[in-house]
A = this chain, B = another copy of it.
């Protein structure tokens, strides 16, 4: 009996306003990717549902989860904590689902350090004027929050080169296809082919 193929984890980051949320939604709808659900200490926005959009936690609850090793990564971003609980992600990949982690730069760097086989994808708009335009266009945030975001994006520039892949979102459909083709190719990384390598190696010297 053949075991179901194990899914892989891919980190998706990008400037706030680069449209990565929309890209991820399309990947889920069109190709059946699973998306990790984050825990956060920030207040729910209108319409956000506990256990669907986020697991909403108090700061104290969040820190207890950190101490109990319940996160793949966690980070502080604009005064709030965000983290990726392990359990959901692991159950998905064990069922053969490819999982997307939509996380910020700090968290992505933690993943890079702790899970070197996981690939990091950074989504950027085609140019910086477009990025600023998108950042400023959002109507739901205060000016202070927007300013913090722009400062943050500026800082993130320095981290782009630490990502494994950079994809330009210059059109939703093309970007979705590029990310999908990339992730399917990531099944072939030697890290994700370990069982195959071991199988061949262990059989090679037998008659």
Chain A residues close to B by CB (< 8 Å): 121-122, 124, 127-129, 153-154, 157-158, 160-168, 178, 181-182, 184-185, 188-190, 193-194, 196-197, 199-201, 203-205
Q: How far is the CA of A196 from the CA of B122 in the complex (A)?
A: 12
Q: Is the pair A188, B200 in contact by a Cβ cutoff of 8 Å?
A: no
- Across-interface contacts of A181 in B (CB, < 8 A): 181, 184-185
Q: Is the pair B165, A200 in contact by a Cβ cutoff of 8 Å?
A: no
Q: Is the pair A158, B201 in contact by a Cβ cutoff of 8 Å?
A: yes
Residue from B168, B193, B196, B201 in contact with A196 in the complex, judged by beta carbons closer than 8 Å: B168
Nearest first, the 3 A-B pairs at minimum CB distance are A166-B193, A182-B185, A165-B188
Q: For residue A166, which residue of chain B has the nearest CB?
A: B193
Report the minimal beta-carbon distance from A11 to chain B, rounded to whole angstroms. 13
Contact A154/B190 with A165-B185, A184-B181, A197-B161 known, Cβ cut-off 8 Å: no
Report the minimal beta-carbon distance from A151 to chain B, rounded to whole angstroms. 11
Contact A185/B185 with A128-B200, A154-B205, A201-B160 known, Cβ cut-off 8 Å: yes
Residue from B160, B178, B184, B188 in contact with A188 in the complex, judged by beta carbons closer than 8 Å: B178
Q: How far is the CA of A33 from the CA of B56 in the complex (A)?
A: 51
Copies in the complex: 2
Q: How far is the CA of A168 from the CA of B122 in the complex (A)?
A: 28
Given contacts A178-B188, A185-B185, 20 further A-B contacts (CB under 8 A): A124-B200, A127-B203, A128-B200, A128-B203, A128-B204, A157-B200, A157-B204, A158-B201, A160-B190, A160-B200, A160-B201, A164-B189, A164-B190, A165-B185, A165-B188, A165-B189, A166-B189, A168-B196, A181-B184, A182-B188
Q: For residue A153, which residue of chain B has the nearest CB?
A: B204
- Across-interface contacts of A185 in B (CB, < 8 A): 165, 178, 181-182, 185
- Across-interface contacts of A193 in B (CB, < 8 A): 165-166
Q: Is the pair A167, B190 in contact by a Cβ cutoff of 8 Å?
A: no
Q: For residue A121, which residue of chain B has the nearest CB?
A: B188
Q: How far is the CA of A199 from the CA of B130 in the complex (A)?
A: 13
